[in-house]
């Protein structure tokens, strides 16, 4: 549901988010968000020192917010969130270790209340879809005016999502539409906790072949590893396709038949 409130020329606020295992937007993360009786605590995570410094100065210039830690990796961000509570996290997408998607998946699994604003130079449709599906509250391009970032943080602090207009097309589309039936089965095996060796035994293939299939799967989903891949599957659990809707060939895409009946949702910036 797209709200009519605009944030500059590039973004709109979207209605109440739905996050698996999380409370509603009005309830997170408690009285601090509702009453705003104190400046909201913001943490910044980006692989660039220059970006971290700039974002910190930008956010700190607004009396509604105070900036605590600034960190250079997803792992350090998780450590900072474990040590003290933060209301909002401004997070990049590309890190040496965990990606922004990995961070979102981990926060969702651990049920952190911190609201995440993705701030990235990677603004392709696949990254945007992942951010939406994995529970980000906002998505801002680094090419936008810095004021857009501050506006997005302000919207999130009020319990509203803030995404580019093109995100409206992403809401009805899943990265899983792009994978084959065989790859969907592989993803299901990952979600069941099977190791590479166990998958090799299940399919009666070599471990190297399993690694090859995993590389292709991760590439299509735009993820770094099984944690984020499984998180995408779980985020789409209500969209699982019945057997009769699946392609007849193992090499066909899972979403091919769905695309025939839902072609109207395949247009726009989020279509490949």
Q: By the 8 A CB rule, do 77 and 91 touch?
A: yes
For residue 175, the SS3 value is: helix
Q: Which long-range contacts (CB under 8 A, 24 or more apart) does 212-215 make?
A: 213/182, 213/183, 213/186, 214/186
Q: By the 8 A CB rule, do 73 and 117 touch?
A: no
Q: Is the pLDDT of residue 156 over 70?
A: yes
Backbone φ, ψ for residue 235 (5° rounding): -65, -20
What's the confidence (pLDDT) of residue 109?
Answer: 85
Instruction: Specify the length of the chain in residues.
Output: 272
Q: Binning pLDDT at 50, 70 and 90, where does residue 131 land? A: confident
What's the confidence (pLDDT) of residue 141?
Answer: 92
Which helix (H) or strand (E) segment holds residue 119: the answer is: strand 115-120
- pTM of whole model > 0.85? no
Q: Binning pLDDT at 50, 70 and 90, where does residue 170 land? A: low
- Helix intervals (H) in 142-206: 146-157, 167-170, 181-191, 196-203
Mean pLDDT of 76-102: 91
Tokens of 91: 């997070």
Q: Three-state SS string across the chain, please?
A: CEEEEEECCCEEEECCCCCCCCCCCCCCCCHHHHHCCCCEEEEEECCCHHHHHHHHHHHHCCCCEEEEEEECCHHHHHHHHHHCCCCEEEECCCCCCCCHHHHHHHHHHHCCCCEEEEEECCCCHHHHHHHHHCCCCEEEECCCCHHHHHHHHHHHHCCCEEEECCHHHHCCCCHHHHCEHHHHHHHHHHHCCCCHHHHHHHHCCCHHHHHHHHHHHHHHHCCCCHHHHHHHHHHCHHHCCCHHHCCCCCCCECCHHHHHHCHHHHCCCCCC
Q: Binning pLDDT at 50, 70 and 90, where does residue 63 land? A: very high
As a whole-number percent, the residues of the chain with pLDDT over 70 amount to 69
**Biggest alpha carbon distance in the chain?**
61
Q: By the 8 A CB rule, do 225 and 232 touch?
A: no
Task: Dump pLDDT digits (tens) for 17-47.
Answer: 333 333 333 334 444 454 457 899 999 999 9
Which helix (H) or strand (E) segment holds residue 88: the answer is: strand 88-91
| Domains annotated on the chain, with CATH | 2-170 (3.40.50.2300), 175-258 (1.10.10.10)
Rounded distance between C-alpha atoms, residue 166 and residue 163, angstroms: 8
């Amino acid at each position: 549901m797209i709200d009519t409130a605009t944030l500059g020329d590039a973004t709109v606020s979207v209605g109440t988010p739905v996050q698996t295992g999380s409370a509603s937007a009005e309830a997170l993360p408690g009285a601090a968000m509702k009453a705003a009786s104190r400046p909201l605590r913001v943490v910044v995570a980006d692989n660039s020192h220059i970006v971290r410094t700039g974002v910190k100065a930008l956010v700190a210039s607004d009396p509604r917010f105070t900036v605590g830690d600034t960190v250079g990796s997803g792992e350090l961000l998780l450590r900072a969130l474990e040590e003290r509570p933060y209301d909002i996290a401004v997070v990049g997408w590309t890190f040496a270790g965990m990606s922004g998607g990995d961070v979102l998946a981990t926060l969702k699994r651990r049920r952190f209340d911190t609201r995440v604003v993705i701030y990235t130079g990677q603004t392709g449709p696949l990254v945007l879809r992942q951010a939406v599906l994995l529970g980000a509250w906002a998505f801002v391009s680094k090419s936008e005016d810095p004021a857009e970032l501050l506006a997005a943080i302000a919207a999130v602090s009020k319990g509203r999502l803030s995404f580019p207009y093109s995100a409206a097309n992403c809401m009805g589309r899943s990265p899983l539409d792009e994978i084959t039936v065989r790859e969907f089965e592989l993803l299901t095996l990952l979600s069941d906790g099977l190791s590479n060796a166990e998958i090799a035994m299940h399919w009666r293939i070599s471990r190297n072949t399993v690694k090859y299939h995993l590389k292709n799967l991760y590439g299509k989903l735009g993820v770094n590893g099984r944690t984020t891949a499984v998180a995408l599957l779980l985020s789409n659990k209500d969209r699982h396709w019945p057997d009769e809707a699946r392609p007849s060939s193992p090499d066909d895409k899972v979403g091919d038949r769905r695309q025939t009946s839902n072609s109207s949702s395949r247009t726009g910036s989020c279509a490949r």
